[in-house]
Amino acid sequence: MVIDPLFIVGTIVCLVSTVLCIGAAVLRHGPNDLTILSVAAVELFLIIYAVAAVIRQTGGETLNGPAWEFWGYLFTAAVIPIGAVWWSLMDRSRWSNLVLGAVGITVFVMLFRMEQIWDGVPLA
């Protein structure tokens, strides 16, 4: 299996965001610019990933799995950071950082599945 460079970048962005957000929660800090911007970086990555996916598909690369599933994962992954940031703006407690931290983990899992759909790797 060839690992897509975008997958590696996405993994790093998600990991950094998760570590920052969970670290802030452990230190009993409320959501701040650093944690919110780290989740915004995940969203920015997903937008870049979507543009790259459109370019790849229009360029002739095909998905090895169902297209509706790939785009459904991508759309859902793009909505999750928005909801988490909204949550953190409404609830300024340290627990909101755990919600922000869950974004990186969740998006990574969805990104991993999108990579499987793109490359046609079996689930097991």
pTM attached to this predicted model: 0.91
Task: Please tell me the distance from the alpha carbon of residue 3 to that of residue 17, in angstroms, as a whole number.
Answer: 21
Task: Please tell me the distance from the alpha carbon of residue 110 to that of residue 7, in angstroms, as a whole number.
Answer: 11
Query: pLDDT tens digits, residue range 59-88?
Result: 988 888 899 999 999 999 999 999 999 999
Average pLDDT over residues 45-56: 96
Tell me, which fold does domain 5-119 have in CATH? Four Helix Bundle (Hemerythrin (Met), subunit A) (1.20.120)
Share of the chain above pLDDT 70, in %: 95
Residue-wise burial string across 37-75, b where 16 or more C-beta atoms lie within 10 A, e elsewhere: ebbebbbebbeebeeebeeeeeeeeebebeeeebbebbe
Query: Residue 18's closest CA among 113, 114, 108, 111?
Result: 108
